[in-house]
Amino acid sequence: MVGGASIPGNWASFLRVDDNKTELFSFLSGALLDSFQLADKQLVITDRDAVLSKPPLLDTTSLAPCTQEEADSRMMLHAAHAAHAGHSKITIRSVDTDVVVLAVVLACTLEEDDEVWVSFGTGKAFRFLAAHEMARALGPEKAQALPMFHALTGCDTVSCYAVWTALGSVLSSLTSPLHQLR
């Protein structure tokens, strides 16, 4: 029994019910907020559409109410908010490669000196990924195209250089007339 509730015997079955997930994440958000003790760090999390923070944020108008349904996009919203609030080193924790792709895109929209790190993986495969360095290496055009490339290929890694090169050519041809209009 945890916090007055029994622990489910079958997690897969438990998590298939949306209300169970909502209650679990609400419980975890509260527990994390209560236990957070790092004086030189800022914790920002959501509980349903509410934004919780420690220490408390003075202005949450750009974050709340949080209408992003997917955790991936919520994390990017919080990271962008942190950067605009003056935080120059941001860490995002995930085991999802979609989050890495979105973090690279985010990094190319921030100030040049800002750092976006993704604490990624588990166990022996755990590592810190420098999304800001990936964005710089790719350049803004390719970095911003990553979500489209990912969606079209369904691939979390750049497994086919020919497709990536073709995508770059297509993007160049599509954006060239736009640059001429400016």
For 86-121, what is each residue's pLDDT tens digit? 899 999 999 988 899 899 999 999 999 999 999 999
Pair (93, 59) in one structural domain: no
Q: Is the peptide bond before 140 cis (omega within 30 degrees of 0)?
A: no
What is the token pair recorded at 19?
A: 């209300």
Q: Which residues contact 114 (CB under 8 A, 6 or more apart)?
A: 83, 88, 89, 90, 107, 132
Highest mean pLDDT among 18-22, 47-51, 114-118, 150-154: 114-118
* 116's tokens: 């976006």
Amino acid at 137: A
Do residues 59 and 104 share a domain?
A: no
How far apart, in Å, do the first and last CA atoms of the chain sit? Answer: 63
pLDDT at 180: 44
Strand 43-47 and strand 50-54: the pairing is: antiparallel
If asked whether residues 116 and 158 sit together in one domain, one would say yes
Residue 80 lies in a domain: no
Q: For the full predicted model, state whether its pTM sits above 0.95.
A: no
pLDDT given at position 129: 94
Determine, yes or no, domain membership for 35.
yes
Decide if pLDDT at 36 tops 90. Answer: yes
**Cis check: omega of the bond before 65, within 30 degrees of 0:** yes
CA distances from 82 to 57, 75, 106 (A): 10, 10, 12
75 is a domain residue: no
H helix intervals, 36-96: 71-84
What is the band of 182 on the pLDDT scale with cuts at 50, 70, 90? very low
Determine the pLDDT at residue 172.
Answer: 53
Comparing 11-15, 48-52, 134-138, 163-167, which segment has the lowest mean pLDDT?
A: 163-167
| Domain that residue 48 falls in | 1-67
- Size (the chain), residues: 182
Least confident of 2-6, 9-13, 118-122, 132-136: 2-6
pLDDT mean across residues, the chain:
81
Same domain, 172 and 94: yes
158 and 93 part of one domain: yes
The last residue of a domain, from among 10, 36, 67 = 67
Q: What are the structure tokens assigned to 88, written together?
A: 């120059």
Q: How confident is the model at residue 156 (pLDDT cuts 50, 70, 90)?
A: low
Whether 110 and 83 have beta carbons less than 8 Å apart is answered as yes
With pLDDT > 70 as the criterion, what percentage of the chain qualifies?
81
- Is residue 1 pLDDT above 80, yes or no? no
Domain count, the chain: 2
- Can you tell me which residue has the tokens 């979105």? 102
